[in-house]
Amino acid sequence: RPRGAADTYVTSSPSMDISKASNFERFVFDLVGRDPEMVRTLWRDVDAGGSFNIAGTPFEAALPGFGFVSGSGTHADRLRTIRDVWERHGQLVDTHTADGIKVARDFRRPGVPMVVLETAQPVKFAETIHEAIGRDPGRPVDVEGIEALPQRVAVLPADVGAVREFIVAHCGDA
């Protein structure tokens, strides 16, 4: 079930501050054997503000095969992880990646390599990075001056055909 506003908190890792994650729906799609009708069935109650329960179903039995674990962390954990990775490896990681590293370390087994993929640019979280390591993160050269570039916005109707037409008109039919 999506968390209500009272259970959704603002943190220094904003991708964790959401109550209804679209990537969870994509995971459920894989969990139910990539069956879009089953996802629609499950999501009807979610979209109505409710929940669904897979306890006792073949879907629950399939969960271990996906290899997911769950954990939590605090702002202090995030800062400590960013600082530790910076000091030990010379790598600057963003707040979301720090969350992943912290939880991966909590579940790490001896002799099993740990791989954590970075999810964002540290510069997006400059205030927290500065708090963790005492300096501002560098900005990638390819985004220098991005704020000065023109912004383009097109408001489109929620219609697949309209989106397709816009893409073809502005990007070609590649």
Per-residue pLDDT of the chain (174 residues; tens, 9 = 90+): 666 777 777 888 877 677 777 788 899 999 999 999 999 999 898 888 888 999 999 999 999 999 888 899 999 999 999 999 999 999 999 999 999 999 999 999 999 998 999 878 999 999 999 999 999 998 889 888 888 999 989 999 989 999 999 999 988 655
Whole-angstrom Cα distance, residue 9 to residue 19?
Answer: 9
pTM of the model: 0.72
Rounded Cα distance between 73 and 152, Å, is 37
